[in-house]
Amino acid sequence: MGRVGPRPEGGLSLEIRLETQQGVGTGQGRSRAGGNLAQRPEPCTPHTPLPMDRTVVLITGCSSGIGLHLALRLASDPSRSFKVYATLRDLRAQGPLWEAARARGCPPGFLETLQLDVRDADSVAAARARVTEGRVDVLVCNAGRGLLGPLEVHTAGAVGSVLDVNVAGTVRTLQAFLPDMKRRRSGRILVTGSMGGLMGAWNGAGPVGGAEPGGRATGCSGLLVGDPPRRASKASSPLEGLPFNAVYCASKFAIEGLCESLAVLLPPFGVHVSLIECGPVRTAFLEKQEGVPGGALDGADAETRVLFSRYQRHLERIFREAAQDPEEVTEVFLAALRAPRPALRYFSTESFLPLAHLRLADPSGCSYVAAMHRAVFADEPAEEETASDRGGPVLCAPPAAAAPQ
């Protein structure tokens, strides 16, 4: 954990102090394992008084992306009302966080780092024990991992790793922090969700969810109450479909069920669960995915390889044209955190609600499957003959209603 320590000449300096499960080490920029650690930056405002009633926030997965930006946003909030514990699986990756904290003028005492690996229950418990306030008011379950490619080429290890982080890791984290929230009858839990856990797609013409520009979010659905729906601009055009993300989508669907179940149970305890449903965000998430296909793709049939190549081009275009900046997404987290009556779901973009409605409008799923297939694979001509070219049945048709007996 990082601590502020006195400098002999009377100023303040920041010393890295690593507390691991094996013991405590004081830093000269090196961990016990011998890895180099970036030295924590000198804060720009060293004499900021620390409020006694700060909201204590612990965030998982802060080495980059949404977790890093949310930690910085809260720790540098002008209200000075948040104490943030940014957790990382490997503290050797904390350099970019502290560099960004220095750039933002983050005051001392408002941001600390902890080692926390959601795959290890002992690591989660150790991080909880190092929260000096003795409580966590807001828990943000953000750690996650992706897996891209045809399902049949994934190794059992890659599949298990994604499920261990995204599903079991979230459960371990909740198991560690939820009992104290229930005991205190107070707490907020924010979970980073995904369109891949709702529908696998968006189509870019839906009403806005989440927070309005002023940060207000009302109503139990996470939608703004009383405001006319706005339409998606070209800048927020859709990411339509998540084929080749079967295991990732399965993990995110599981998180939806987990959070819905808890959301029904916990209000009598004063604890509220909210999902922040994200679309494509400009982070390193794609680069960090498990098992990005290389030679393993050779295990798939030729037609699947053609479709995967088309999907990759589609994905690159969407991230180039439509991905959100993480700073935009963190404002949705902040709106959920501050809402007096938190909703179960908040949406970081206005683009993917219509397809959610399509899933409900046709319970057979056929309309949704057909729309998604067209959206993802019909935007360019096929490179090779496919089953549809040969006249084979590709998409389902809604089942006929059963005749009365």
Query: CB-based contacts of 182: which residues, under 8 Å, 6+ apart?
Result: 266, 269, 271
Are 180 and 253 spatial neighbours (Cβ–Cβ below 8 Å)?
no
Q: What does the block give as tokens for 73?
A: 């946003």
Is 248 among the residues known to form the active site?
Answer: yes
Query: CB-based contacts of 392: which residues, under 8 Å, 6+ apart?
Result: none
Are 244 and 150 spatial neighbours (Cβ–Cβ below 8 Å)?
yes
Are 373 and 310 spatial neighbours (Cβ–Cβ below 8 Å)?
no
- Catalytic, out of 85, 248, 311, 346: 248
Instruction: For residue 187, list its beta bridge partners.
Output: 271
Query: CB-based contacts of 84: which residues, under 8 Å, 6+ apart?
Result: 57, 58, 59, 71, 74, 75, 110, 111, 112
Question: For residue 160, what are the CA distances in angstroms to 46, 219, 345?
Answer: 45, 37, 27
Catalytic residue annotation? 248
